Amino acid sequence: MAVVTNLEPKRRKSTPLDDLTALVADDLSAVNEIIVQRMHSSVDMIPQLAGYLIAAGGKRLRPVLTLAAAELCGYKGEDHKMLAAVVEFIHTATLLHDDVVDESDLRRGLASANAVFGNKASVLVGDFLFSRSFELMVEVGSLDVLRILSKASAVIAEGEVLQLRTTNDTETSEQAYLEVIKAKTAELFAAACRVGAVVADRPQAEELALYDYGMNLGIAFQLVDDVLDYSAFQAKLGKTVGDDFREGKITLPVVLAFRRGNDEERAFWRRTMEELDQQEGDLERAQELMARHNALKDTVERARHYGSIARDALGLFPDTPVKAALLEVLDFVIERDF
C-alpha cells in the first residue's frame, strides 16, 4: 500500500469549522507537512498505517484549535505549528487504540485501521505516534508545554480505563459518565487550546481561560457524538449507527433513559447493555425509549450548557475574527449532524 500524503480535509459544504480553518489555513498546511515528515519511518507499515488514518479525513478540530488559540493570543513565532502536529499525533494514537479496544470496523466512513492492518499493528503504531509526539515536544523546548501535553496523554489513558469500568453497567451515574468524557475526550481539547497561550507567553488567566474553553467545548462535542450514535445516518456519521448500543457502552442518553424508565424498561436496558443479549429490533426499541423520555433532547441541552460555559471563557479576549470563529464553532459542534 502506498503511503498517503494528501492530508487536506475532504470537500464538503462550508461550516463554521471550515471558516475557522480558513483563518489558519497557511499554518495548517505547514502542520500537515510536519505530520507527513514526522510519521516517516524505515519500517514501512508505520507510515502506511498512520497515513491511512490521518488521510481519511476528519474535522482536524484539535490542531486547528491550537493554531487558533495561538493566533488569538497574538503569537508570531513558529512553535505553534509543531504543537498542533503533536496534538494531532496524540489524537491519532488514541483513535488507533480506541478502535482496538472497541473492536470498531469503521472510522470516518472507511474501514478502521485495525480492520485493515490488524489489532497488533494498530496498537504498536499508536505507541509510535505517542513517542513521536514527545520527540516534537522536546524540540519545542518548553517545560510548560511538555507538562501540559504529557499530563493530557496520561489523563486520556485514565479515561479509557474509566470507560472500561462503566461499560455494561446500567447503574453508571451521570457524574461517572462525565468523568469519563472529561478525561477521554475533553482533556485533549483543553490542552490543545491551552498550549496556544503558553507558547505565546500570555498571562495565566488567558491560559486558563483557553483551557476552560477547550474543556467545555470537548464535553459538548462528546455529548453530541453520543446523541448521534442513536440518531444520525450512518453515511453522514462516518461510523455504524448504534455502535455504542451494540458494545454496551453507557453514554448519557442511556443513563437518562434508564433512570427515567419503569421496571420493564430498566429490564430491557440490563438485558441489552449488561448481558449484551440483543435481538432484532432492540436498537429501534432503545431509540423509542430515548424519545419517550427526552434522553437525546436533554443530552443536547446539556451540551448547550457546556457550550455556554465555553463561550463565557472567551470573554477575556478582545473581539477578533478568530474569536468570532471560535464562538461560532461552539454552535456548530452542538448543532451538527455528523
Cell of 269: 436496558
Q: Which domain holds residue 307?
A: 16-335
Per-residue confidence (pLDDT) for residue 57, from 0 to 100? 58
Per-residue confidence (pLDDT) for residue 5, from 0 to 100? 41
Q: Note whether 316 and 247 are within 8 A (CB).
A: no
Residues paired with 106 in a beta bridge: 111
3 within domain boundaries? no
User: The CATH number of the domain where 38 resides is what?
Assistant: 1.10.600.10
Per-residue confidence (pLDDT) for residue 145, from 0 to 100? 95
- Residue 295, judged by CB atoms within 10 A of its CB (0-12, 13-18, 19+), counts as buried
Tell me which residue of 247, 244, 236, 239 sits closest to 295, measured CA to CA. Answer: 244
Q: How far apart are CA 291 and CA 297, in angstroms?
A: 8
Per-residue confidence (pLDDT) for residue 8, from 0 to 100? 46
| 328 contact partners, CB below 8 Å, separation of at least 6 | 16, 19, 20
Per-residue confidence (pLDDT) for residue 52, from 0 to 100? 72
Q: How far apart are CA 193 and CA 210, in angstroms?
A: 5
Per-residue confidence (pLDDT) for residue 7, from 0 to 100? 45
1 within domain boundaries? no
Per-residue confidence (pLDDT) for residue 9, from 0 to 100? 41
Tell me which residue of 31, 41, 40 sits closest to 8, measured CA to CA. Answer: 31
One-character DSSP codes across 251-300: -HHHHHHHHHS-HHHHHHHIIIIIS----TTHHHHHHHHHHHTTHHHHHH
88 within domain boundaries? yes
102 within domain boundaries? yes
One-character DSSP codes across 209-241: HHHHHHHHHHHHHHHHHHHHHHHS-HHHHTS-T
Per-residue confidence (pLDDT) for residue 123, from 0 to 100? 83
9 within domain boundaries? no
3-class SS of residue 110? strand
4 within domain boundaries? no
Per-residue confidence (pLDDT) for residue 6, from 0 to 100? 45
Q: How far is CA 223 from CA 52, 174, 184, in A?
A: 27, 12, 12
Q: How far is CA 23 from CA 17, 138, 159, 216, in A?
A: 10, 28, 32, 22
Cell of 5: 500524503
What single letter denotes the amino acid at residue 307? G
Q: How far apart are CA 217 and CA 87, in angstroms?
A: 16
Q: Computed from CA positions of residues 168, 170, 176, 179, in that sequence, does the dihedral angle turn out positive or negative?
A: positive
CA 322 to chain centre: 21
Per-residue confidence (pLDDT) for residue 107, from 0 to 100? 56
What single letter denotes the amino acid at residue 127? D
pTM over 0.75: yes
pLDDT in tens, the chain (338 residues): 344 444 444 455 789 999 999 999 999 999 989 988 888 888 888 878 777 766 665 678 999 999 999 999 999 999 999 999 999 999 988 888 777 776 666 555 566 666 666 678 788 888 888 899 999 999 999 999 999 999 999 999 999 999 888 989 999 999 999 999 999 999 999 999 999 999 999 999 999 999 999 999 999 999 999 999 998 655 455 556 788 899 899 999 999 999 999 999 999 999 999 999 999 999 999 999 999 999 999 999 999 999 999 999 999 999 999 999 999 999 999 998 76
CA 31 to chain centre: 18
Q: What is the count of structural domains for the chain? A: 1
7 within domain boundaries? no
Per-residue confidence (pLDDT) for residue 56, from 0 to 100? 63
